Amino acid sequence: MEKMGKPESKRDHLLMNVKWYYRQSEVPDSVYQHLVQDRNNENDSGRELVITDPVVRSRELFISDYVDTYHAAALRGKCNISHFSDIFAAREFKARIDSFFYILGYNPETRRLNSTQGEIRVGPSHQAKLPELQPFPSPGGQAVTENEELVWMPGVNDCDLLMYLRAARSMAAFAGMCDGGSTEDGCLAASRDDTTLNALNTLHESSYDAGKALQRLVKKPVPKLIEKCWSEDEVYLTDLHPYTPSRSLRSSDTGLLSIPRSRPRTVGDRAFSLAAPTLWNALPAEIQNAASLEIFKSSMKTHLFTMAFGP
């Protein structure tokens, strides 16, 4: 009996919450045999288990989570049930009249025995079945697998590598000075990480022959800047800064430009910073969202022609 409910009035009946327990005979034999096997395997010290006594073994119960409610008139007797943490602690159990003990719980839906204290159970029936060990495949004398691409071979002399990088940076500085027209541009080109990475990649592609790598760097000492990887059309489109309102409006994604504030009807209204976004926002959406510069030019000509001479 787990709990006894107090009646609210004299006419109410006394009800009891009764906890379910399962006997050994009510647990499937295959489940119980696994439990016996685990207990024998855990008995490393060779101590005699209490369940070897048939009287004590018949007093072991398995608790469950099920609770039933009965009328007080259904009472037929009283028994004492003790709880022990493990089978070795159950040696203290005395098989008196109407006395029982339990260690584990039983779930009839899953047909499993489980610990009431959340312990980790150790034993053959609680272990995962591991697959058979597969031997490692033989490398076959290849240092690199088919799924890998070697980009650097260690073991290059540090002194030779340093001299090679100095020569590569010198060529990059000369090329940058010729393109920019100043020594600052040359120093900037030589100090970029892209220049060093390009020199190392060229050395690897030249089988670590510094002479061949320098000959290839003469043709292209400085790699293409990331900004130069974009076409004219893409650069044009990225230069258009979208209008970002202070509030989230439905028209915030229409590609409009921000118009600065100015006094009306003044010379400031004709300034480029004010006139340019005003004219842009007045263009049709298909012109503002042109996919390329050529499409924009063609659509713009058509729009201006229509405005001047009519459709």
Q: Which residue has the higher pLDDT, 273 or 177?
A: 177
Cα separation, 269 vs 264, whole angstroms: 7
The confidence score (pLDDT) of residue 250 equals: 46
Report phi then psi at 282, rounded to 5: -85, -10
Residue 196's pLDDT is what? 87
**Tokens 């096997």 sit at which residue?**
37
- Please tell me the pTM assigned to this model: 0.35
Query: What is the rounded average pLDDT of the residues 100-107?
Result: 88
Domains in the chain, ordered, with CATH?
Answer: 3-119 (2.30.30.490), 158-227 (4.10.1240.50), 230-309 (no CATH)
Give dist(CA 223, CA 225) in Å, integer: 6
User: What pLDDT, on the 0 to 100 scale, is given for residue 306?
Assistant: 85
pLDDT at 75 over 50: yes
Name the one residue in this structure whose structure tokens are 């030779």: 160
Mean pLDDT, range 105-131, rounded to an integer: 76
> Contact 197/217 with Cβ under 8 angstroms?
no
Q: Residues 280-308: what's their mean pLDDT?
A: 84
DSSP annotation string for 255-304: -PPP-----TTSGGGGSHHHHHHHHHHHS-HHHHT-SSHHHHHHHHHHHH
User: What is the reported pLDDT for 140?
Assistant: 60
Q: What phi, psi does 123 have (nearest 5°)?
A: 165, 165
Task: Say what the pLDDT of residue 67 is.
Answer: 83
Enter the DSSP assignment of 117.
T
Q: What is the pLDDT of residue 142?
A: 56
Under the banding of pLDDT at 50, 70 and 90, the label for residue 160 is: confident
Average pLDDT over residues 80-107: 85
- Report helix, strand or coil for 128: coil
pLDDT at 146 over 60: yes
Q: Is the pLDDT of residue 287 over 70?
A: yes
State the average pLDDT over residues 94-104. Answer: 87
Q: What is the mean pLDDT of the chain?
A: 76
More confident residue, 24 or 145: 24
Sequence-distant (6+) residues with CB within 8 A of 269 are 262, 275
| Residues 108-112, mean pLDDT to the nearest whole number | 84
**Whether pLDDT at 236 is above 60:** no
